Structure 1
Amino acid sequence: MTRFVLPIAAAALLAGCATAPAPASPVEVTRFHNPAGLSVIEGGTVFIESAPRGGDSLAASPYKAAVARELSRLGYRETNRSEATLIAQVEVDRFAIGSDGERRGPVSVGVGGSTGSYGSGVGVGVGINLGGGRSRERVGTELSVMLRDAKSNQAVWEGRAQFSVGPEAAQAEPATNASIIAEALFRDFPGGNGETVRTKVN
């Protein structure tokens, strides 16, 4: 009986390793800004909306909520559109990455109960069906945010962040995913103009 303990334990350990989700990639962030324009609206009020080309999908709700939290941390107070000095336009794209590293179609995100201003509880679970070895499949996320002067409609800051993770990892869940990518996007705001940085995901 004793002779089989170690082989069985080893087999269980190897099975656990085989099914472990792929680790998250670093978040790659690129930002552009107009320093003069930003100084005028610094610490002002902000209205957060979906970007015109992005639609107002429920899937974007946790990302808009995450952007709102980051802007609040930076000293901007959220308000309605008519009173805002700053308009934040948010666009999010979630897509499947096959085991060959090629980008595939969009992932399907399950919708659960919504909470908060943007339904920050929306999105429970990620559906992905690419075939092949699931351990090598990934979910990619790209978040784009443009900050505009509400009076002139001039863009004063624009940022884009993207990263990928295994579909079964905790970081693939929409609310967690949104918090990770938004925090990286607004870290050291406004960031270097035209500079691309990479942030490790814990």
Structure 2
Amino acid sequence: MTRHLPATLLIAASLALGGCATAVPPVEVTRFHGNAPTGWAPGTRYAVDEAPLGDPAAMAGTGVGANAPSLEWSSYRTAVEQQLQRQGLVAAANGERAPLKVRIGFDRNEQAPAARRSPVSVGVGGSTGSYGSGVGLGVGINLGGGPKRMADLQLSVRIDDAASGQALWEGRALTAIPVKAPASQPSLAAAKLAEALFRDFPGESGRTISVP
């Protein structure tokens, strides 16, 4: 039996490495909301704001411009809309007024291992802890795996009452992925972050969780 053990271990290791090559690492998710908003019955319409959520300076280098969204931003929008529709919401037709306005933003920051940011500070919707205690939440991401060039990815979503502009629900999802990993592709990363962000929607307000 012992002579076969090294081969068994090699097979197990190769399978594990193969899974790591495609899997997106765990996602840190923080959400804030007040009481369950009225009018969120199945069929409630929403409209996506074409202007990305967040500070324009923070979007520099992501390809998101004032004139036309980037393909990467479009991937995040598609992923978020899929999750919204799973909640029973319906996209409004072009030019049609909707009771809910959805704002979407993302940030992709690639840095050499020695220059990476850790921990990541989360301030949801531009006002940290909007519906919580009013203090910021520090999210530490495990950056293990050796001196690989990593991409810090962040998806931000805010759902407003279109009439008043009041934030009804907001959240951010963050993860770190090796730049050369297949999981860093926009479509895969966006789908994972959006799914994690809307897991068990609306989620516990003010709590940071890790979604595998």
What fraction of aligned residue pairs are identical, expressed as a percent?
A: 33
Cα distance in 2 between the residues matched to 1:91 and 1:32: 16
Match of 1:41? Answer: 40
Question: What's the TM-score once normalised by structure 2's chain length?
Answer: 0.65
Cα distance in 2 between the residues matched to 1:98 and 1:161: 22
Q: Superposed, which structure 2 residues align to 1:20-59 within 5 Å?
A: 24-36=24-36, 38-43=37-42, 44-49=44-49, 50-51=52-53, 53-54=55-56, 56=66, 57-58=69-70, 59=72
Match of 1:100? Answer: 114
Cα distance in 2 between the residues matched to 1:42 and 1:198: 28
* Alignment pair present for 1:186 and 2:198: yes
Q: Superposed, which structure 2 residues align to 1:1-202 within 5 Å?
A: 24-36=24-36, 38-43=37-42, 44-49=44-49, 50-51=52-53, 53-54=55-56, 56=66, 57-58=69-70, 59-79=72-92, 80=94, 82-100=96-114, 102-103=116-117, 136-200=148-212
Count of residue correspondences: 156
Helix, strand or coil for the counterpart of 1:87?
strand
| Structure-2 change in CA distance of 1:144 and 1:62 (3 Å) | same
Letter in 1 for 2:188: T
Give how far 1:139 is off.
1.0
Cα distance in 2 between the residues matched to 1:97 and 1:159: 24
Deviations 1:104-124 (A, max 9, x none): xxxxxxxxxxxxxxxxxxxxx
Letter in 2 for 1:51: L
Give how far 1:40 is off.
3.1
Give structure 1 stretches of 5+ with no counterpart.
1-9, 104-133
Deviations 1:138-183 (A, max 9, x none): 1111111000011111100010000011112121000111000000
| Structure-2 change in CA distance of 1:93 and 1:62 (3 Å) | same
Deviations 1:14-69 (A, max 9, x none): 9xx7xx85974310000000224x23334310111232645553131110111000
| Structure-2 change in CA distance of 1:139 and 1:52 (3 Å) | closer
What is the alpha-carbon root mean square deviation over aligned residues? Answer: 2.9
Cα distance in 2 between the residues matched to 1:81 and 1:193: 32
Cα distance in 2 between the residues matched to 1:183 and 1:48: 18
Letter in 2 for 1:40: G
| Structure-2 change in CA distance of 1:35 and 1:197 (3 Å) | same
Give how far 1:102 is off.
1.5
Letter in 2 for 1:41: W
Give structure 2 stretches of 5+ with no counterpart.
1-9, 57-64, 118-145
Helix, strand or coil for the counterpart of 1:82?
coil
